[in-house]
Amino acid sequence: MFDINKAVDAKVDFYSRDRDIPWSVNGFKGTWQFTEHDTIPDTLHEFLMLSFSVGNIRLVPIDKINKLMNDVWEGPGSLEKLFRMNVEMRKAGKEIQFPMMAKARASRVIEEDEDIFPDLPLSNFGDEDVDEE
């Protein structure tokens, strides 16, 4: 069974080695001043998407992103805080909302026993009984 706490601990451990590197995300101390969405490090995307309940951070004005990041960021090592906040937001039922998925969910409910995956040509991939000519 998947243990989210072990996954977060592994992620925290991985990024902890960057804590003393000032040009790394986890080593950043200062004030966030993003000017474009493209400059936001990937490691912050999940936190931002959960915080604003959006599937694309480009939908959030950059000034709101800067405000949130500066409110929660405590300097080097703060990635751990954000990773743990991600888990807490998910446990609280917060989701990333993708507009197309939300629309599809609202318009159609998939029956529990409905097969939503079509038979694909590769569905037999890996079967040992396949005869080769």
Q: Which residue has the higher pLDDT, 31 or 107?
A: 31
Cβ neighbours, 10 Å, residue 11: 16
Q: Any idea where the domains of the chain sit in the sequence? A: 4-108
C-alpha to C-alpha distance for 126 and 133, rounded to whole angstroms: 16
Instruction: Say if residue 49 is exposed, middle or buried (CB neighbours under 10 Å; 0-12, 13-18, 19+).
Output: buried
What is this structure's pTM?
0.70
pLDDT in tens, 85-94: 999 998 888 7
